[in-house]
Amino acid sequence: MDRMSEYPQLIERILTEYIELCNRRPNPNFESFLIADKVNHHYIWMNLGWEKGDRINEMTVYVRIRDGKFWIEEDWTEEGIANELIRVGVPKQDIVLAFQEPKMRQHTEFAWT
């Protein structure tokens, strides 16, 4: 797998599928969408809207591709984006759980940097 051509497509497809699931139960006051910076390889699942008088401005997932690896900066999904990446064939050494403190990453099965 040529990482720098395949990896952006993989994460975009995974996040798009999640967002489509969320949008199956549409809420006219709430919107989920993907922000994709394809040049710099940043992918953000964003939620905006209003709920019970409160402004919703949430980042559910933020993944960037850096040095040929997925850096998961934010992940509020139940299953975990890392698990989705593994399911589609990404090796654990190509996934960094960047939301964890760097000294704690060595205790995971994933890449440290």
Tell me the residue ranges of DSSP E strands in the chain. Answer: 30-37, 42-51, 54-66, 69-75, 95-96
Cβ within 8 Å of residue 33, ≥6 positions away: 19, 45, 46, 48
Report the mean per-residue pLDDT for the chain: 93
Q: What phi, psi does 35 have (nearest 5°)?
A: -110, 120
* Chain segment 69-89, per-residue pLDDT in tens: 999 999 999 999 999 999 999
- pLDDT score of 102: 92
pLDDT band with cut points at 50, 70 and 90 for residue 24: confident
* Chain segment 93-107, per-residue pLDDT in tens: 999 999 999 999 989
Note the pTM of the prediction, 2 decimals: 0.90
